[in-house]
Amino acid sequence: MVAQLLREFVDEPWVDELELAGMERISAKFHASGGERRDGDVIWRIPRRDGGDAYLLLLEFQSRSDRWMALRVLVYAGLLWQQIVQEKRLPQDGRLPPIFPVVIYNGDPHWSAPVTLSRLIALPPDSPLWRWQPDMRYHLVDEGALALADLAGRDSLVAQLFRLETARESDQVVAAVDAVIDWFRRHTGFEALMPMFAALAFRVVEMAEGAAPGVQVSENLLEVRTMLATRAAEWRRQWRLEARQEGLQEGRQEGLQEGLRKGEATVLTRLLERRFGMLSDEIISRIAAADTATLEEWTLRVLDASSIADVVP
């Protein structure tokens, strides 16, 4: 599944240079100099066809957007390299092996955190201090940003996993489980993964019905599928009623919040135009997309700013 993830969801030409059949999972436990432990979820050692090594670093599945993820990735990378040096597992040339960090996010709102460390460092773009700052970025797979139709058209188990995790309507869940069952029927040698998908599908039942955790989970996907199908109509009626009630309440609250946000955006736009003249389309778009807290922070920067970049980095 990790190999499928790389082939289908990492659009980089160097992936073709990796010997994915020779992947080897290694320890993901790091110890900093002070003794504290840092855990990355999964790390795979992947040989390259040219004889070198690459390390694919998979951080934990994120269910919430984490602003400091780029910093966390930098720490993980440093600790991994430190461990490799201490255990004398460097390549023959004595240099550090390259690392490719991946973050897989399955939350509902789209991921909003910076994917590069430079976005978190308080320096203007033209500062000479940039040459001494560490640089790090991670590859983001935002499951919710992937179209269900695109996932349904991919013949890989990892795509079916994303499809099942992002399904929200009962009919979508049943269709996703059907696709998983069909995939296992057409591919042999992956039977050990079936209980994992059965457990994931069963979690849908728990969330929909409020079942207590610890309920016995069937490892038979067909049984779970039957359970989902027989209850889909009931869930659909229940979810529509709840959505209607919640929508009325949220609509009132969101109306107030959106009004505040638009007011902050208007104030910031006028202040910037007063100081720096006509704004570019890019700046206008960023202001329009920013949340209330960000707009408030940018507005406070206007008086001391020498350029628009000092306000809207």
Q: Do the Cβ atoms of 46 and 23 come closer than 8 Å?
A: yes
Higher-confidence residue of 216 and 198: namely 198
How far, CA to CA in Å, does 210 sit from each of 63, 110, 213, 220, 236? 20, 26, 9, 21, 15
Q: Reduced to 3 states, what is the DSSP secondary structure of residue 53?
A: strand
Say whether 140 sits in a helix, a strand or coil.
Answer: strand
For residue 67, pLDDT beyond 90: yes
- Judged by average pLDDT, the poorest of 2-6, 19-23, 234-238 is 234-238
pLDDT over threshold 90, residue 215:
no
Residues in contact with 159: Cβ distance below 8 Å, sequence separation at least 6, in sequence order: 4, 8, 151
Those residues with Cβ within 8 angstroms of residue 228's Cβ, 6 or more apart along the chain or in another chain: 170, 173, 174, 177, 201, 204, 205
CA distance 160 to 171: 15
Q: Smallest Cα–Cα separation from 143: which of 169, 165, 115?
A: 165
Whether the pLDDT of residue 131 is over 60: the answer is: yes
Question: Which tokens go with 79?
Answer: 């600790």
Q: Which two tokens stand for residue 292?
A: 């209330």
CA 7 from centre of chain? 17
Q: Is the pLDDT of residue 120 over 90?
A: yes
Please report, rounded to a whole number, the percentage of residues in the chain having pLDDT higher than 70.
Answer: 75
- Locus of tokens 């990790």: 2
pLDDT digits (tens, 9 = 90+) for 103-112: 999 888 899 9
pLDDT at position 247 over 60 = no
Per-residue burial over 79-105, b if 16 or more Cβ lie within 10 Å, else e, is bbbebbeeeeeeeeeeebbebbbbbbb
More confident position, 166 or 133? 133
pLDDT interval class at 172 (50, 70, 90): confident
> For residues 97 and 55, what is the distance between their CA atoms, to the nearest angstrom?
7
282-293 pLDDT, tens digit each: 888 899 889 888
State the average pLDDT over residues 235-264. Answer: 60
Question: Can you tell me the mean pLDDT for 138-147?
Answer: 92
Of residues 28 and 169, more confidence is placed in 169
According to DSSP, the residues that pair with 56 across neighbouring strands are 44, 100
Confidence check: pLDDT of 38 > 60: no
Residue ranges of the domains in the chain?
A: 1-145, 149-269
Q: Degrees (nearest 5) of the Cα angle 308, 311, 313?
A: 90
**Distance of alpha carbon 159 from alpha carbon 138, whole angstroms:** 20
